[in-house]
Structure 1
């Protein structure tokens, strides 16, 4: 069994990855077409095949995007999972050059009290959210694991109104020990999220100047410790812009292969953030690897082909237009009306009510999508998409390899689509503006007719009517 002090096989080998990418550039058209044919059968791709697609000629892009859309439609339908981040502490002892929370940066740091956590949750659920990603800097003195556990308990215990509770808390905190991951598992963590930032070790050490996060291999093997502790849903990501984006995408696929080979299940989600401006961070001089829009879309589409049953997440770092394009490329989850600083939701409430701006609030990064949750929900529905706040799989034990087995058999969509319609009905009834409510229920009625199994369709219809009548909430298959 993996322990905190045993080093496992170094499955990320930079020289090998670079050589694979160099060789992939010579792949003939016939090889590219065969890889795209394989992906279209929902078989996933090996890292060697991924390299070929990453280096292929742009003439193949129309087919790449067509296959990415067909995979997404077949496996996920027209559902888009919604979430919001919650920052609870910006204390951090790391010196990460790209981050506003760098230990060297001087600003008024804060940690939410449990009462403040409750206040933030009430604001988050007032937007309709049912799942969050808890975020915190790394500081064992000012933000120990016991504080994170207390926050989780507070979040799950907070009931704002009839349907106003958080039903799934994903956690994005620093790499830690098997013991601490076990504690997170006991309290009821959803997915454990950790961004590798960059898989290229020399670049990693260049941007992580000091602090425990500087230990590249301890960070890279965090998911091994989490899975050893029984957390079978893990979510990965890199910060696109630190190193060659094609290298990063390929390394992420290799990391996924390592987890599948070792533990029988890979990433539950993959996040694809591009580096953004932040307080104290100058992007103009030292970040030449930020992918342009076309390269970025290509990477997202290739990832959709590579890991067809893995959720792909996009945040408010991207513009509304880019978020639309990335939905077409294979993104299945997105944040809405995010606050990216500690106490940000209550600060925004005060700004709306009094015009007062909190001068001490420090955001981790600059957002590009400032729309309200209701505006984003209305936009998604205008695109024929179904916003979903469903957490049924997590609470029904359909996680890890059990989720993947259902997904690969095609059975998961038989419950996910009706569950999405039930959570959308909750949103429409409890939080939507009148205009969005009218549009939304017309969408729900149309989508109910598309539920393939008559048993599920009729149960979903009854549940939607019960929600609309105000009799009950939190119904799912």
Structure 2
């Protein structure tokens, strides 16, 4: 007798969790690191923060030290507008001190919408029978990677998977290899994806080791909410994701698997935002206290957005206002001053521009979250049909770019709510983002160099804490910006970019004198058509 799909999925779910890979991390009393009572107490006892205390805490942040829970609670409770502005300015000061004026660009690539879980806030939840379920084939993944690299100019992706037996570790490995395997010609050189970050379900240590070997960048698992009762309420009791601690210790397992960079996150709007910030800080400090001694490489803070057949997304009592959202970013920048902060296209253009002035370090652009949406027939920014990697390999092309009239990658793309996990707020292309950031005095960085030459994990954290990481990454940002302008920019954007590059070049020698000769050589060679050079 054939096993039904729901029964098969349930059997698979039960095989995923390894209790021993949770229990080993608990304290002597069998407790985890989220102390809800202590969090509530700290928030209550710091309800009326003293300005002098706040300024002492800001001085500690300037020294690039992780704040304590109580110090973070003090900042969360600040309400005075003048003090909030002082906090914002300090956050930006710290960001520039640690990361300089770079904003790293990336794109998400959704691989599948199969899922065994029942998250009440997500369009992918298994009860959403109105969603057409599928996963990308390797051929489709190569088309998507070709478009992302050869049409949009992206060098860095975060690949996103649901939790399902059809997208197990074997699929993860094969799909990441497919992304890395694409190489396409551009106007002046060639393009490829050089960094693949992974947002997927919690994995066991053996699976994480396999991902590390295949070239995993940052491993992202968002706890969604650190509040246990809320976690149970929004995830149910019968799904794989219902196991709070299996998810909570995903990053501890990643460190044991020698995954160098891990990314945390919360879905703000499920519970009280102040509690969630305290949960994130507790998570960072727990990771810092391990044998590896490494906190989060990045923190993300998506807000609850409308999703098809997910009523909670439209009626949460904990919805986060714009003002509180921007305060969240400010406090996180101050609490974990060395960590990268990611603000995604869930947010509007205006909110993301304001987030830049509060210390974020990464933004996505030309974002599409429908399966196969990037390669659905577009020309590149300079009006040419992007090459098809499959056709180059002697396989039939499925690209329909030649049938399109538009040369704007966004013209023929529209969001269909029933096909996506949630809806987007910022439709900006990479071109748009580059121009906006330049106008604000920031350079868009397409650099992925550090990860490939050992500046990752503990080493990158030391460089960040000592404010020396920017000495390398700023030079590589200029080189990759030169590369992107030559390969992808329209004349208007190129003109704006050239002015920014002249400004950046003027200060490059002073920043890193020992590397200046090598940097100038690589910059010249890049201008002449060489690609993927870095110091």
TM-score bracket for the superposition, by shorter chain length: over 0.9
Deviation at 1:3, TM superposition (A): 4.3
Task: Measure the CA separation in 1 of the matches of 2:416 and 2:263.
Answer: 33
Deviation at 1:200, TM superposition (A): 0.2
Q: CA offsets per residue over residues 99-143 of structure 1, 9 Å max, x none?
A: 000100012111111010000001111211101001010002x21
Counterpart selection for 2:255 from 218, 227, 242: 227
Long gaps (5+) in structure 1:
none
Mapping of residues 19-418 of structure 1, within 5 Å: 19-59=41-81, 60-106=83-129, 107-125=131-149, 126-140=151-165, 142-161=166-185, 162-209=189-236, 210-262=238-290, 263-283=292-312, 286-347=315-376, 349=378, 353=404, 362-418=419-475
Deviation at 1:356, TM superposition (A): 8.7
Does the residue aligned with 1:207 lie in a helix, a strand or coil? helix
Q: CA offsets per residue over residues 238-279 of structure 1, 9 Å max, x none?
A: 000000001000110011000000130000000011111111
Deviation at 1:36, TM superposition (A): 1.8
Q: TM-score, normalised by structure 1?
A: 0.95
Structure 1 residues 242 and 357, CA gap change in structure 2 (3 angstroms): closer
Deviation at 1:345, TM superposition (A): 1.0
- Asked if 1:462 corresponds to 2:521, the answer is yes
The match for 2:397 is none
Structure 1 residues 58 and 225, CA gap change in structure 2 (3 angstroms): same
Deviation at 1:341, TM superposition (A): 2.1
Deviation at 1:357, TM superposition (A): 6.9
Does the residue aligned with 1:134 lie in a helix, a strand or coil? strand
Mapping of residues 7-22 of structure 1, within 5 Å: 7-9=24-26, 10-22=32-44
Task: Measure the CA separation in 2 of the matches of 1:63 and 1:356.
Answer: 41
Deviation at 1:308, TM superposition (A): 1.0
Deviation at 1:45, TM superposition (A): 1.3
Long gaps (5+) in structure 2:
1-18, 27-31, 379-399, 406-411
Whether the 8 Å contact between 2:22 and 2:246 is mirrored in structure 1 is no
Deviation at 1:283, TM superposition (A): 4.8
Q: CA offsets per residue over residues 291-327 of structure 1, 9 Å max, x none?
A: 1111111111111011111100011001110001001
Structure 1 residues 374 and 245, CA gap change in structure 2 (3 angstroms): same
Deviation at 1:410, TM superposition (A): 2.5
Deviation at 1:38, TM superposition (A): 2.1
Task: Measure the CA separation in 1 of the matches of 2:325 and 2:485.
Answer: 34
Deviation at 1:358, TM superposition (A): 9.2
Residues paired across the two proteins, number: 474
Q: TM-score, normalised by structure 2?
A: 0.85
Deviation at 1:43, TM superposition (A): 2.7
Whether the 8 Å contact between 2:302 and 2:343 is mirrored in structure 1 is yes
